[in-house]
Structure 1
Amino acid sequence: MSKTIKILVQASAVALIAGTAAAEGELNIYNWGNYTSPEMIEKFEQEYNVEVNLDSYDSNETMLAKVQAGNTGYDIVVPGDYMIKVMIEQGLLEEVKPNEMENFGNVDPNWVDVWWDPGRSYSIPYQWGTTSFTVDTAVYDGDINTLALMFDPPEELKGRINMLNDMNDVINAGLRYLGYSRCNGNEEEMREVLDLLLEAKQHWRTMDYSTIEKLTSGDVDLSQNWNGAAMRARAQRPTLEYAYPKEGFTGWMDNVAVLKGAPNLENAKLFMNFMMDPENAAMTSNFARYANGIKGSDEFMDPEMLSAPEIVMPAGAPAPDFVTPCPQEVVDLYNRVWTRLKQ
């Protein structure tokens, strides 16, 4: 469910005397649910005398559809890597040149010349991580590093599985399990994927984005999951373990960007520069439990973040697979498979 935070904090006279940049008005952020640090938002409001309104979505596609419809009133969005490229191509983002902002020097060079926004003219790093799955090792004590647990599960896990309600994550996992490439336009191979998913579906309890809640409530014992959510769930259910399947898993980066025609453009730019400060980036990481792309943020992170198995991939694990946007004919094929699966 979308949540809205509406807090207005007046900047103190002391802060103004100290030289804190003065701003006013509002900033409307559209971000993934349960992914924004309240502490970080409060700090931004105090520094700039700006009221922040936060609304949430549960997938890149949900966000894109709302933005395409127009007149959202949002300023900031936080799309995944491939979605940034899609939105740039569709003219939905402002070219705000974060690479010319004061704090851009803090961006890790590894995340500057990225394929979705080379040189970073439209976006900055927010959080990055992987998509795999989490298993309760008190329920299943075998090898967890295989996608077979989702698609051909052992008896202990049948009926105790949650999959993400996400077309790309589910279909791409199926393609990996069968040894096929992503963005697959081969209709025969995609029929095999559909057969695999339909057969496995009988063993799935739910398809839901609320992975932390599903796991910590005991509703399921395995959930397809993001690594930061896996860490947050483990804090409440210590026998949970995050898998690095031998068949592969998705890598991704979410990015802060400004919508074309943003009603509060200057405040959006302030927020973008603010998020490239190491201490502010660390606030988001400490809350959401993902790595970020800002140098020096480690100094401000909770110690457990620096060694958590969900964040630090083990030696020998496959490299994350960063999936690029698929051609439209492949998207259409994915949609047909997904529609059949969800019937």
Structure 2
Amino acid sequence: MEDQMRNLFVGLLVMCLFVLGFGVITVGAQEVTWTCPEGFEGQELNIFNWATYIDEEAIPRFEELCGVTINYTTYSSNEEMIARLRQGNPGFDIVVPSGAVIPVMVADGLLEELDGQDLPNFVHVAEQFVDPDYDPGNTYTVPYQWGTVGIAYNKNAVGDAELTSWEDVFNYDGNVAWLEDQRAMLGVALQILGFDPNTHNLDEIEQARDFLLENGDNVVRIAEDDGQEMLLAGEADVIVEYNGDVFQIIFECECDDYAFITPEEGTNVWVDNLAIPTGAQNPELARVFIDYMLDPVVGAANSNYIAYASPNQTAIDEGLIDEELLTNPFIYPTEEELEKMFFILEDPDTEQLYSDAWDELSVLIGG
């Protein structure tokens, strides 16, 4: 699995670098030519997505094209989303799970079959994202964005402190916020300890928990996907956060106050996906929306707005992705960096072991 995912990201990097030689066209100058099928006027679609994770024009544009209304709700972690669905889907039509949790969601019967490869716009998906191990045949999902977990900090707050590694974060004399992503954080600890980040060994998982406990004295909060807001507010000098969330504030700031780095020991790389949960009220309109999101212009607009890497081959080939993203090694990592990264793949048999370890850690850290 790790070799396949590494090849996926290395391949995407090569394509992106190749495209740069042909120049970049701004998405703002591109017209969305996608056409909505007839028959959906007046209907509603309920989307359950991560916060700050879609172009601000994507939803109103779809509503106008299809004559529908979208109700939009956000969550801050895969665990929160899954817990909500396990209680009984309240009517969500689309969710955006990470590839890591797809096997668990399928085993629990939480996803409806999508047959993603049958969608008209699936032809635009980069080959490396087709038929992934976490969802063979793209039976339940299509790729949306991919990215990494890294370290961000306020340059003025940290002063001369060197921050290039996880060890530097653990030893930092100041306020730190970790990320509410149990598998990423425990995976980092497992990797540092020399274990497989996807280990099934309870003793190794508990060692990872204890390692984080021993190195969490400077943690003021385990942030629920809003560490970047803590950074902006001065509540934390250093945060562990998803790369795109950090670059959103860096680009908006237009200042030199913040920095993001990929820890030298390695980190978690992930793929988020569009899927239809079991019990969806409007699965047919959900399929139409997912196809819309795979349109190259729409896909590029999403990636450019939220500063994450795109799995849309056509968007890259046609120069629709902003050059400042394609050339940023913290958004599209180098091959050398990718070699040190790990991909999480949850197993229904060990999910509870990781959840228990993280719950114990969260209580003791005070997150």
Query: When the two structures are superposed, what TM-score results if normalisation uses the length of structure 1?
Result: 0.86
Taking a change above 3 Å as real, the CA distance of residues 105 and 140 of structure 1, as seen in their structure-2 partners, is: same
Partners in 2 of 1:260 and 1:339 — Cα distance? 27
Q: Identify which range, 166-175 or 190-199, moves more after superposition.
A: 190-199
The percentage of aligned residue pairs carrying the same residue is 32
Superposition pairs for residues 52-71 of structure 1, below 5 Å? 52-71=70-89
**CA deviation profile, 1:278-331 (whole Å, cap 9, x unmatched):** 001112112211012112223223332222242132463243311111353x43
Superposition pairs for residues 75-224 of structure 1, below 5 Å? 75-138=93-156, 139-141=158-160, 143-151=162-170, 153=171, 157-208=172-223, 209-224=225-240
> Residue type of the partner of 1:94?
E
2:267 pairs with 1:249? yes
User: How much does 1:42 deviate?
Assistant: 1.1
Q: Which runs of 5+ in 2 are unaligned?
A: 1-33
Aligned to 1:296, what secondary structure does the other structure show?
helix
> Residue type of the partner of 1:168?
R
Aligned to 1:114, what secondary structure does the other structure show?
coil
User: How much does 1:137 deviate?
Assistant: 4.0
User: How much does 1:188 deviate?
Assistant: 4.1
Partners in 1 of 2:78 and 2:283 — Cα distance? 22
Partner of 1:264: 282
2:210 pairs with 1:227? no
For the 8 Å contact 2:151–2:260, the answer to whether it is kept is yes
Partner of 1:321: 342
For the 8 Å contact 1:81–1:253, the answer to whether it is kept is yes
Partners in 2 of 1:247 and 1:327 — Cα distance? 28
2:327 pairs with 1:307? yes
2:65 pairs with 1:47? yes
For the 8 Å contact 2:124–2:312, the answer to whether it is kept is yes
Taking a change above 3 Å as real, the CA distance of residues 20 and 232 of structure 1, as seen in their structure-2 partners, is: closer
Taking a change above 3 Å as real, the CA distance of residues 215 and 27 of structure 1, as seen in their structure-2 partners, is: same
Taking a change above 3 Å as real, the CA distance of residues 256 and 187 of structure 1, as seen in their structure-2 partners, is: closer
Aligned to 2:83, what secondary structure does the other structure show?
helix
For the 8 Å contact 2:174–2:237, the answer to whether it is kept is no
Q: Identify which range, 210-219 or 194-203, moves more after superposition.
A: 194-203
Corresponding pairs, count: 321
> Residue type of the partner of 2:87?
A
User: How much does 1:91 deviate?
Assistant: 2.2
For the 8 Å contact 1:162–1:204, the answer to whether it is kept is yes
Taking a change above 3 Å as real, the CA distance of residues 314 and 295 of structure 1, as seen in their structure-2 partners, is: closer
User: How much does 1:71 deviate?
Assistant: 3.7
> Residue type of the partner of 1:204?
V
For the 8 Å contact 2:186–2:205, the answer to whether it is kept is no
Bigger helix share: 2
Partners in 1 of 2:100 and 2:181 — Cα distance? 15
- State the structure with bigger RCO (CA 8 A, min sep 6), 1 or 2: 2
Partners in 2 of 1:20 and 1:87 — Cα distance? 29
Q: Which runs of 5+ in 1 are unaligned?
A: 1-17
Which residue among 280, 300, 309 is the counterpart of 1:282? 300
Partners in 1 of 2:65 and 2:129 — Cα distance? 27
Aligned to 2:215, what secondary structure does the other structure show?
helix
**CA deviation profile, 1:10-48 (whole Å, cap 9, x unmatched):** xxxxxxxx9753222011100011212220111111111
Query: When the two structures are superposed, what TM-score results if normalisation uses the length of structure 2?
Result: 0.81
Partners in 2 of 1:312 and 1:141 — Cα distance? 27
Q: Identify which range, 218-227 or 87-96, moves more after superposition.
A: 87-96
Aligned to 2:138, what secondary structure does the other structure show?
coil
Partners in 1 of 2:115 and 2:203 — Cα distance? 44
Partner of 2:9: none
Partners in 2 of 1:244 and 1:187 — Cα distance? 28
Partner of 1:7: none
User: How much does 1:203 deviate?
Assistant: 1.0
Taking a change above 3 Å as real, the CA distance of residues 88 and 315 of structure 1, as seen in their structure-2 partners, is: closer
User: How much does 1:206 deviate?
Assistant: 1.6
